[in-house]
Amino acid sequence: MTAKTLMIQGTASSVGKSILATALCRIFKQDGYRVAPFKAQNMALNSSVTKEGGEIGRAQAVQAEAAGIEPSVYMNPVLLKPQADATSQVIVSGKAIGTFNASHYYRINSTLLKIISESLEKLRTEYDIVVIEGAGSPAEINLKSREIVNMRIARLVNSPVILVGDIDRGGVFASIVGTMQLLSKKERDLIKGFVINKFRGDVELLKPGLEFLVNRYSKPVLGVIPHIRQVNIAQEDSVYLDERAINYRNGNLDIAVIRLPHISNYDDFDPLEASSNLKYVSHVDELGNPDMIILPGTKTTISDLEYLQRSKLADAILRQVKSGVPLIGICGGYQMLGKRILDPHGMESNAAEADGLQLFDMETTFAEDKTTRQVQARILTDQGLFSGMKDMAITGYEIHMGTSLNQAYLPVFYVTTLPDGRFSYNDGTINENGLIFGTYIHGIFHNADFTQKLLKNLSLLRKKPYSEIVQLNKETDYDTLADIFRGNLDMKSIYQFTFGGDNAE
C-alpha cells in the first residue's frame, strides 16, 4: 500500500511547523501506524548524521526519533547550509555537492525535484503515513514558480495540508488570511484546516477570530496549541535562541556558550542547559565571569572567528582563560583554538587564511571533502576537566570539512566510526593542565555519565557545590509533546482527511 500523506505548511518561518510535525509523528506512532517525516528542502545550520553517514536537517532527525525509526537521507533530500557570503552549501541525498548562490541553485531545481520526488515515493512504499513539512511560507509570490518544498510537493502527491500560524508574534489572523489570498484556488482546496500555535491565555478570547476563519473559508480551526515550555525538543535553527530565556537558572555552575553568527548544532548543549546556568553570549558585556566557556560549532569558521576578534569577544575569552576559566571548543570552535586556519579551495570563505586564538600549536586546513559520520570514542586523558575519566566511553557524530594538525599533540579521544568500526583515529587536543580542550565530536554532552563527571570536576575546580545533573529523556519528552498536541488538536478530523476521499489512491 502507498502511504497516505499529511503536509504541514506555515504562514512564515518559525511558526511551529517542525514541532507540529514532530508531535504528529509521535501521535501516529502511538496509534500503531508506521510513520516517517519528510521535508523536501531544508535551510538550517542544525544538522544530523544518519547511520550511513549522510547529513540531514536536525528537525527531520528529531521527527524520525519521535516516529521511532532511524533517520534517513530520504527524509530530507535537499539541505541548504547558509554561509557568510550570501551562498549556501548544498547537500543532496546526504552529501555536499558544492556551494551555490541563489541563481546557480535555481538552475538545478528540475534535477533536485526529481530526487525529491523519488525520495518521497520511496518513503511512501515503506510506511503507512508520511508527515511532510513545508518551509517558510507557501505564499512567497516571488518564489512560487521555483519553489520545491511547499505547494509543489502538496500538489505532487495530492496531500491534504494543515496551515499553521504563530499567535505569539501577533497578527496571526492577518497572516492566515493573507496566505490564503495569495494561493490559487487549487492550492486553497488542499488546505483542510488551520492551527494556531504558541497561544498564551484564555481560548475563549480567540473565539471571534476562530469563527471568522471558519465562516470565511468553510475550513475548521483544528487546534489552538498553548505556548510550550516543559518539553526539551531539539530545535531546527538558531531563531529559537531569540525566543528562549536569556539564562536558565539550573544548579550552581555558570556556563557561557558564545553565540557565533553562524552557530550550528547548538542542541549539543541542551543537557548543560538542563543542569547549569547556561547562557548564550553575543557581546562582550554579556560574558560576565563564567565558570566555563564553550566555543560551539559554526558553518563559517573564518568569518565567525573574524567576528570574535572584531567584537573583542576573543580578547575577553583569552583574559578569562588566562585567569583559569576552562574553555571547550566543539568542531568549528575547536578549529578557532589553533594558530591558523587555511582555506586554499575557498570552501567557506574568500579569505585564504586566518589567525586563530593561538591556544594550541595547531593548524587547520579545509578540504574539499566533508566528513560526516557517527562515532564512538574512548577518553585518553585523565587531567583537569577529565580527572578520573580516562577510558570512559561516549558516542557522538562528526560534521566538518577541516583537518587539524597539532605540533604538540595531546589527543582527547580514541575514535572508532559507527556502525562497523571501519576507521579508528585520535581526535581532539587538550592542554597540559586539562582546562582547555577541543574536539570534532558533536553530542558529547548527551552522554549522561560523561557530563555528570565533567560538571563534577568543574565544580571542584571552581570551588562550587555540585548539583546532580538533570538527565534528559527523549522518549518521555516526545510522549509529553504528543499528549499536549493530542489534547489540543481535532485528531478525528485530521484522521478523516488524511485517510479520506481527497487523499485516497
Residues designated as active site: 331, 442
**Nine-digit cell string for 175:** 497572516
Cα angle value 300/86/237 (rounded, 5°): 60
Helix-strand-coil split of the chain, %, nearest 5: 35, 30, 35
**Nine-digit cell string for 75:** 527524509
Which residue carries 483542510 as its cell? 192
Backbone angles phi, psi at 38, to 5 degrees: -155, 135
Alpha carbon 67 to chain centroid, angstroms: 17
- Looking at the DSSP bridge assignments, the partners of residue 397 are 374, 442
Instruction: Please tell me the distance from the alpha carbon of residue 335 to that of residue 338, in angstroms, as a whole number.
Output: 6
Q: Which residues contact 45 (CB under 8 A, 6 or more apart)?
A: 81, 82, 237, 238, 262, 263, 264, 265, 299
Q: Which residues of 462-488 are buried (b: 16+ CB within 10 A; e: fewer)?
A: beeeeeebeebeeeebbbbbbebbbeb
- Looking at the DSSP bridge assignments, the partners of residue 78 are 41, 92
